[in-house]
Chain A
Amino acid sequence: MLQVRHLSKSYSSGNQVYPVLKDVSLEVEKGEFVAVMGPSGSGKTTLLNCISCFIPHEQGEISLGGHDISHLKEAELAKVRNRQMGFVFQDFMLLDGLSIFENICLPQIIAHRPVLQMEEKAKNICRLFGIEKIMDKYPAEVSGGEKQRTAVARALMNQPYVILADEPTGNLDSKSCKAVIDAFLQAKKEMGATIFMVTHDSFAASFCDRVVVLKDGRIYGELTRSGTRREFMDELLDTIRTLSDEALPTRNNADGRTASGRTTEGQRASGQALGGDNDDNE
Chain B
Amino acid sequence: MMTMSKITAKLRRKNQDQYRMLGICILLSVLLVSSFTFMFFSPTIQGFLPPGGDTRKLMWLMLGVVVIGCLIFTLYGSSLFFRKKSREFGVMLALGAQKKDLAGQLFEELTAVAAKYILLGLLLAIPASWLIWKLFRTLVINTAQMQYRIGFAGIFAGILFSAALSLSILFLGTRFIRRANIMDILNASRKTEMVREIKPWCGKLGILLVAAGLFLAIAVPQFTVRLFRQGMPTVWNAVYLLCVAGLYLIILSAVGRSKKGKNPEKYYRNIISTNLMRFTARQTTRNMCVISLLVFVMVLAAFWGVMYYCNATEGGSEAAYDYSLHYPALEHQIGREEIEALAKKYGVEFTGRILPDEDGSPQANQETKALSGYEETDSLELIVHYTGRDMNDQRQYFDVEYEKLASFLSASDFTRISGTAVSLKEGEYLTVTGTGFQENIWVSVDCLNSIEHPVTGEHMEPDFCGTVEFDNLALTSDPFAFILSDADYQKFSEGLTDQWREKHILFNARHAQVAGKTLSSDAGPEQADGTRKAEESDTLSGKKCTCNTDPSGTGGLCPAMYTQGASRNAGPSGTGGLCPAMYDFADALKREYIAHATSLSNHYGLYDAHEEALALAAGEEYSYAGEIDMSMDNTQLTGDWKYAPFSKILMQADAMEMFAVFVLLSLYISIISLTAAGIMSYIRSVTIAMDNRLLFEDLKKLGADHAYEERVIKVQLRKIFAYPVAAGCMTVGAFSLFLTYFNDMRLQAFEAKMLLMEVLLMAGISGILYAVYRLSFQKTKQIVGIALEKH
Residues of A with Cβ closer than 8 Å to B? 49, 52, 54-55, 74-75, 78-83, 85, 87, 89, 93-98, 102, 105-107, 109-112, 115, 118-119, 154, 158, 281
Contacts and interface: CB of A to CB of B under 8 A. Distances in A.
Nearest to A158: B96
B517 interface: no
13 contacts: A75-B98, A78-B96, A78-B97, A81-B94, A82-B97, A93-B90, A95-B87, A96-B14, A97-B15, A106-B7, A110-B4, A110-B95, A154-B95
B187 A281 contact: yes
Interface in B341-386: none
Contact of B95 (A55, A75, A107): A107
Interface residues of B, number: 30
Nearest to B187: A281
Label chain A's interface by main secondary structure.
Answer: helix
Contact of B11 (A93, A95, A154): A95
Interface in B382-417: none
A137 to B, nearest CB: 13
A74 B13 CA distance: 30
B1 interface: yes
- Listed from nearest, the 5 A-B pairs whose CB atoms lie closest are A82-B96, A97-B14, A81-B96, A97-B11, A115-B1
Contact of A78 (B10, B93, B187): B93
B1 A98 contact: no
B11 A98 contact: yes
Contacts of A98: 7, 10-11, 14
Contacts of B4: 109-110, 112
A110 B2 contact: no
Contacts of A54: 94, 181-183, 186
Contacts of A82: 95-97
Contacts of B187: 281
Contacts of A49: 183
Given A74-B99, A97-B14, A115-B3, A110 B186 contact: no
B1 A109 contact: no
B215 to A, nearest CB: 38
A89 B94 CA distance: 10
B11 to A, nearest CB: 4
Contact of A110 (B10, B14, B92): B92
A82 B90 CA distance: 13
Given A95-B91, A97-B10, A79 B96 contact: yes
B88 interface: yes
Contacts of B11: 95, 97-98
Label chain B's interface by main secondary structure.
Answer: helix
B105 to A, nearest CB: 11
Contacts of A95: 11, 87-88, 91
A111 B87 CA distance: 20
A89 B10 contact: no
B2 A109 contact: yes
A156 B117 CA distance: 41
Contacts of A79: 96
Contacts of B2: 102, 105, 109, 115, 118-119
A171 to B, nearest CB: 11
A50 B187 CA distance: 16
Q: Which of A54, A79, A89, A112 has the most CB of B within 10 A?
A: A54
B12 to A, nearest CB: 8
Q: Which of A55, A95, A102 has the most CB of B within 10 A?
A: A95
Contacts of B14: 96-98
Given A54-B182, A112-B4, A93 B97 contact: no
Contacts of B99: 74-75, 78
Contacts of A109: 2-4, 7
A229 B101 CA distance: 45
Contacts of B88: 95, 97
Contacts of B3: 109, 115
Nearest to A55: B183
Contacts of B181: 54
Given A54-B181, A82-B95, A98-B10, 7 more contacts: A74-B99, A78-B99, A98-B7, A98-B14, A102-B2, A109-B4, A112-B4
Interface string B1-33: 111100100110111000000000000000000
Contacts of B190: 281
Nearest to A106: B95
Contacts of A78: 93, 96-99
A218 B319 CA distance: 93
B1 A107 contact: no
B570 to A, nearest CB: 64
Nearest to B16: A97
A83 B96 contact: yes
